[in-house]
Amino acid sequence: MGALAPYASCGDIWTNPPNLRREQRLLELRHEAERHGRVTAGGIRPRGAPFPMASPDTGYYGIPLLKQHPWTWEIPLYFFVGGAAGAAAVVGAIAHYTGADPKLVRDARWIAAAGAVISPALLVSDLGRPERFLNVLRVFKLRSPMSVGVWTLLGFSGGAAAAAFAGFMRDRYGPSLPLRVLENAGQAASLAFGLPFSNYTGVLIGATSIPVWNANAGNLPLHFGASGASAAVGLLELMGHHKNRALQAIGLGAAIIECWEGWRIESRELSGLDPLKHGTSGTLLRAGGALSGPVPAVLRALSMATSKERSRSLRRWASVSAVAGSLLTRMAWLHAGHVSARDWRQPLEIP
């Protein structure tokens, strides 16, 4: 009998249920089903039920509806290096085709080649293991910005490195048919992949569910492309090409686009865009926008109306400002993504 003692009180469950109202409600639902063949009442929502319990206020089982991106310092630097390298490759190729200064062509190719080496290294460092990068290359998905971006990086890196190497060997050992073929093929590849490589990162972050990025998906590629062109021009001018009028025009045009982008961000009034205007991310973005937009634009405009010596100094400072602004801009956008995902109650207010 001692072994049966735990079961002696089982009958008490029916006379003293732990939740009488719940049991009564279940009996009512059973009777309704017996009489009508169906239950029209809402019933009782179980605690922790999956989708009905997910909301901007409670999250999903206590987990925020949006996940912050796991990118570390390598990715903003990757965005910056890729933008400058891609734009430099385009500048170098056009300069070569139009018969511009050979030194400008060589320097632009070396900037592109340096970016072609540094960019994959930064990406692999962020991924943690090289095989993760190789796994992305197993397939090509035209509708995936990540897949298209990685293959663009691969094509650009090969083309930029080939063009720089062939040009170096030609200058050192003289021209030859194999070097000419390698140089032309590498330059064509770096030109074809350079422009998308300089701004595909804007497409990449705009295609995510992070509200502050997704709300700017339409203008991020132009923004990143102009920022990359500004950085490439700045680097080339710091390497001694400050007298080149074509570079000056490209730099001024990129600065004007950056001014327009800054005005566009400031003029929009949406709660989901608060990370672009407030806090650390807002301060970084405004600083980067000023350094890559109004500051170089004013300095370049003033350099056209001053003496030669003062003009050179103004363009140098404009170049430094443009490079610093381009890097700060990438850092600001990624930091804004962190803030936007962390404040996961606000995203649903963006149309």
- Concatenated DSSP letters for 147-213? HHHHHHHHHHHHHHHHHHHHHHHHHHH---HHHHHHHHHHHHHHHHHHHHHHHHHHHHHHTSS-HHH
In this prediction the pTM is 0.79
Determine the Cα angle at 107 with ends 105 and 108, to 5°: 65
Alpha-carbon distance of 179 to 160, in angstroms, equals 14
The alpha carbon dihedral of 207, 256, 326, 273 has a sign of negative
Whose tokens are 């998906």? That residue is: 217
What local confidence, expressed as pLDDT, does residue 271 receive?
Answer: 66
Q: Which of 167-176, 203-212, 320-329 has the highest mean pLDDT?
A: 320-329
Confidence at residue 351, expressed as pLDDT on a 0 to 100 scale: 44
The half-sphere exposure of 113 on its side-chain side, counting CA atoms within 13 A, is 19
pLDDT of res. 81: 95
CA distance 112 to 125: 20
Residue 245 has which token pair?
């009028």
Length of the chain: 351
Rounded to a whole number, what is the distance in angstroms from the first to the last CA of the chain? 69
199: pLDDT strictly greater than 80: yes
Contact partners, residue 255, CB within 8 Å, separation at least 6: 230, 292, 293, 294, 296, 297, 300, 318, 322
What's the pLDDT at 12? 45
For tokens 């019933």, name the residue.
43
Q: Is the pLDDT of residue 9 over 80?
A: no
pLDDT mean over 191-217: 90
CB 147 within 8 A of CB 141: yes
Lowest mean pLDDT among 147-156, 235-244, 261-270: 261-270
Q: What is the pLDDT of residue 60?
A: 65
Q: What are 63-85's pLDDT values in tens digits?
A: 777 778 888 899 999 999 999 99
C-alpha–C-alpha distance, residues 76 and 94, integer Å: 27
Q: Say whether pLDDT at 224 is over 90.
A: yes
